[in-house]
Structure 1
């Protein structure tokens, strides 16, 4: 549904979420917004693990539509997840917007999220949101390999990320170990292939002189410049570059690892409501907006990510989301972020 256009309409919408408009009842101890006293002061505090240039226009649009002001703290997703666990109930955050499901799972595991209304969690396709209502998926992003088309043909690109430890790729591959999406990929590798395989792969990458970058954008730029031949990124960074440079300007090209490979997982960005904001009408309205038609279409048009709400088309040229999804991976199982960062530290990548 589209976002309400006035603050009064937003507050009414939140009461509908609570089941008040139709006289419905729910357990106020279990579900956010279930208390008819849900209140609005016209502001909310957002911890955003997504970059400012990606989401601030959406936040500005939300404020323009509703009159609700959003105070944003931007930082890395992993950093904010750790901060939320450190702050606990004293956190000023009302909503956590995460770059990946792993960080959301870690915060949920610490019992810091309120349970969201079903009208929010069921607004997106099943399989791309939490199984317990603790957080909702917002967009889908596929893990891909970008390659230097002047050095490699598409057929030369490995079908599995596990092959990147082969000697032929020595010094030619880029990763971003501090990036939350990379860390979620490693978590998925641990879940799908086991701890030993994940450790051996990481150690093999280090031995193979893997090149380290701070984020996906830097990896793509390195491939584009011919500095490295392969890089692990999220798909939408390439599509953003394509929109800016055009097809003739793209030396870097995309390759999707084989379906089922840990390197081809479809992760999600997502959001959760902090327990202290369970009855905050403004925070609920923001979450409602993220999964609304307006919010989902923004991500399609501006960031080239997969929408998760039914009935909204993905950006042109992307493979169907169903063709990329790994049926053996439950995104709720990506909640062992701490174990992944410990492993990355142990092998010298953090």
Structure 2
């Protein structure tokens, strides 16, 4: 899970987490044919993307990794001399935090605007979504009928008292979901929903999304909130036990106000003081390309953001759902309010 940490401490942690070679590489001068990437994504699929980008462009990718708060703190402490060219994160709320700290600059690119729908990017081009994941429900079909969980309201209904598994309130995925509910319903109804979720918890929140899915399979709960790509990766991965869980547990895509399932994104933007700005824009355009979109979907089980790119296996089996059209840029500004509602309800 991602936890906020004090700014100074975050900067120290981020600096100490990087090897000397990476730290040196992150200072590559402008026009050097390099790209300095600050990324909060930690997937093998991304390494394949960076290698392909370098192969196609000759631009070397220097990678600094950390959680979003560490990277935001580092970029803030570096100020105008920051070598960061691109910031990547696995949630719209994290991208908003970087935007709110004035760490991202507007980017105008016809290629990006054509490839990435308006609701999956920041209106002024400070960041763009490059992959999607739905926050939905894993359920035991032996105990739950699909029509009992076809809306988000039903997750918090008395039908599921003590039968829901969910991760902690400080999960950015849960914060973004509740932020979306506030945007759609207002704080009163969203607060009632949060209270219903707390009343429905089969156990105190613990673990990540995979743990919630496994708990459904073990009979600890009947339903669980999860991101789609965790389930899809378990279903198609090499772990025999996890595959057995997904043979037993199914996915449901509840609808928000009859408009489809809540969708979050992974994405990125050009850093405010990017020394290699042209390379940064070129990298973002690459991430929106059909070739890169297909790699992310195939290797990390995320849904494509570019609607012109058909979903490849293994995500094609799950890609027929209706996605809610709400702008993902609405989630971040609502996260503080979401955290307050969740804390007040006892969602720990």
TM-score scaled by length of structure 1: 0.76
* Counterpart for residue 126 of structure 1: 118
Aligned residue runs from structure 1 range 144-183, under 5 A: 144-155=136-147, 157-176=148-167, 177-183=169-175
- In the aligned structure 1, how far is the partner of 2:73 from the partner of 2:219? 36
Q: Conserved in 2, the CA contact under 8 Å of 1:89 and 1:276?
A: yes
Indicate how the Cα distance of structure 1 residues 151 and 325 shifts in structure 2: closer, same or farther if over 3 A, else same. same
Q: In the alignment, is residue 220 of structure 1 matched against residue 213 of structure 2?
A: yes
* Structure 2 SS opposite 1:96: strand
Q: Conserved in 2, the CA contact under 8 Å of 1:138 and 1:290?
A: yes
| CA deviations over 1:221-246 (Å, ceiling 9, x no partner) | 22233322111112122221221366
How far off is 1:131 after superposition? 1.3
Q: In the alignment, is residue 105 of structure 1 matched against residue 96 of structure 2?
A: yes
* Structure 1 SS opposite 2:339: helix
- In the aligned structure 2, how far is the partner of 1:85 from the partner of 1:263? 37
Q: Any gaps of 5 or more consecutive residues in structure 2?
A: 1-28
- In the aligned structure 2, how far is the partner of 1:84 from the partner of 1:175? 32
* Structure 2 SS opposite 1:131: coil
* Counterpart for residue 292 of structure 2: 295
| CA deviations over 1:31-89 (Å, ceiling 9, x no partner) | xxxxxx962352413131x33345344334445554513223132x4665576567665
Work out which of the residue numbers 303, 310, 313 in structure 2 matches 1:306: 303
- In the aligned structure 2, how far is the partner of 1:82 from the partner of 1:178? 18
Indicate how the Cα distance of structure 1 residues 209 and 259 shifts in structure 2: closer, same or farther if over 3 A, else same. closer
- In the aligned structure 2, how far is the partner of 1:216 from the partner of 1:198? 22
Aligned residues: 308
Between stretches 280-289 and 170-179, larger displacement belongs to 280-289
* Counterpart for residue 195 of structure 1: 187
Q: Conserved in 1, the CA contact under 8 Å of 2:166 and 2:201?
A: no
* Counterpart for residue 127 of structure 2: 135
Q: Conserved in 2, the CA contact under 8 Å of 1:143 and 1:263?
A: no
Indicate how the Cα distance of structure 1 residues 82 and 160 shifts in structure 2: closer, same or farther if over 3 A, else same. farther
CA RMSD of aligned residues (A): 3.0
* Structure 2 SS opposite 1:227: coil
Work out which of the residue numbers 61, 71, 94 in structure 2 matches 1:69: 61
Q: Any gaps of 5 or more consecutive residues in structure 1?
A: 1-36
Indicate how the Cα distance of structure 1 residues 97 and 305 shifts in structure 2: closer, same or farther if over 3 A, else same. same
* Counterpart for residue 230 of structure 1: 223
Aligned residue runs from structure 1 range 1-350, under 5 A: 39-40=31-32, 42-48=34-40, 50-53=41-44, 55-63=46-54, 65=56, 66=58, 68-75=60-67, 77=68, 80=71, 89=80, 93-122=84-113, 123-155=115-147, 157-176=148-167, 177-209=169-201, 211=203, 212-244=205-237, 250-258=247-255, 260=257, 264-277=261-274, 279-314=276-311, 315-320=315-320, 323-326=322-325, 329-336=326-333, 337-350=335-348
* Counterpart for residue 8 of structure 2: none
Indicate how the Cα distance of structure 1 residues 209 and 148 shifts in structure 2: closer, same or farther if over 3 A, else same. same
Between stretches 55-64 and 310-319, larger displacement belongs to 55-64
